[in-house]
Amino acid sequence: MLKRALATLGILGLAIGGVLWVLSAPKVLPASALSAGYQPNLANGEVIFIAGNCSGCHATPGQDDRKQLAGGLKLRSPFGVFMTPNITPDLKTGIGGWSELQFVNAMKRGVDDEGQHLYPAFPYSAYSLMRTSDVRDLFAYLKTLPAVARPSAPHELKFPFNIRRSVGVWKLLYFKPHEFVADPKKSEAWNRGAYLAEGSAHCAECHTPRNALGGVEMAQLYAGAPNLEAGGRFASNITPHKDGIGDWSEQDIADFLKSGTDKCFNEPTGMKEVIASTSQLSDADLAALGAYIHALAPIAGNPKHKTC
């Protein structure tokens, strides 16, 4: 009787494992997702590059040129250390040999050029909201930047997080790819701000706490992340709650993203890399971000690290 029960459990376990293996397989967009007749808009690609703060993670630490994207930044997390890769157009060590479709799938589906899952330290959960045309423009712009021959360092992850297929299970739980849809009841500025904040700028990825598996806690969206990174770094509550930026105006937010100095004349160090990019955005895009963030639902959270 015991042997039969154990055999049944074993078969059940294999069946569940088989189902998970199939469901956790990388899923990509087909070639038909790239519309014919597309002409790259390099100026728009640069805007997306700036809004996404690509340099913040992919520029080699210690260098001044924010357009040499050979990677090497260490992102410390509870799962181990993620190493940012080389995304320059170098053919051997960067993404110079990638096709446009491979890049789009990395951005919008979290799958690399070899068909493997990318770790969500690369915020494709946000990038999946971007219009495919914007992703294509970004790829075209990246190809104009200097090629740097520097191999990407491997991640230093704990078991079982070093098994890439496990990311497929994470995706089943937390990754719901879809393109941004404008809200016709909102203003053009609000929709532009929402598109930037939720997509390329991926604001929620840092300013929202995560659970033990690294999933974003949606009930605390934008309410601050007390343990943004191993070592105690935090991200402030940016909702209009008293714990956050409830006494900031839309213009205060836009001004901060432009200058890096808040309304109390502080210069928050944690936003230094972000401001280096947002300060280059147009006044219209900064105003749009201000309009969207100012209209967020107020949520209590992270009061020890209130901004200003």
User: pLDDT tens, 237-266?
Assistant: 999 999 999 999 999 999 999 998 887 767
Domain final residue, candidates 179, 196, 226 = 179
User: Which of 49, 121, 51, 135 is CA-nearest to residue 84?
Assistant: 121
Per cent of the chain over pLDDT 90 is 74
The reported pLDDT for the residue numbered 25 is 87
Q: Is the pLDDT of residue 12 over 60?
A: no
Q: Is the pLDDT of residue 35 over 70?
A: yes
199 lies in some domain: yes
SS (HEC) of 223-287: CCEEEEECCCEEECCCCCCCCCCCCCCHHHHHHHHHHCCCCCCCCCHHHHHHHHHHCCCCHHHHH
Confidence of residue 294 (pLDDT cuts 50, 70, 90): very high
Task: Read off the pTM.
Answer: 0.90
**Number of domains forming the structure of the chain:** 2
240 lies in some domain: yes
**Is 97 found in the same domain as 205?**
no
Confidence of residue 306 (pLDDT cuts 50, 70, 90): confident
**Is 216 found in the same domain as 121?**
no
The domain that holds 59 is classified in CATH as 1.10.760
166 lies in some domain: no
Domain final residue, candidates 161, 179, 197 = 179
**Mean pLDDT of the region 44-63:** 95
Domain final residue, candidates 128, 160, 179 = 179
Confidence of residue 194 (pLDDT cuts 50, 70, 90): very high
Mean pLDDT score of the chain, rounded to an integer? 90
**Is 131 found in the same domain as 202?**
no
156 lies in some domain: no
79 lies in some domain: yes
**Is 301 found in the same domain as 200?**
yes
Cβ neighbours of residue 52 under 8 Å, at least 6 residues apart? 127, 138, 200, 201, 202, 277
**Is 299 found in the same domain as 224?**
yes
The reported pLDDT for the residue numbered 182 is 97
The reported pLDDT for the residue numbered 133 is 97
What is the domain extent for residue 198?
188-305
Instruction: Show the CA angle centred on residue 168, arms to residues 133 and 170, nearest 5°.
Output: 95
Confidence of residue 304 (pLDDT cuts 50, 70, 90): confident
**Is 145 found in the same domain as 202?**
no
**Is 41 found in the same domain as 120?**
yes
3 lies in some domain: no
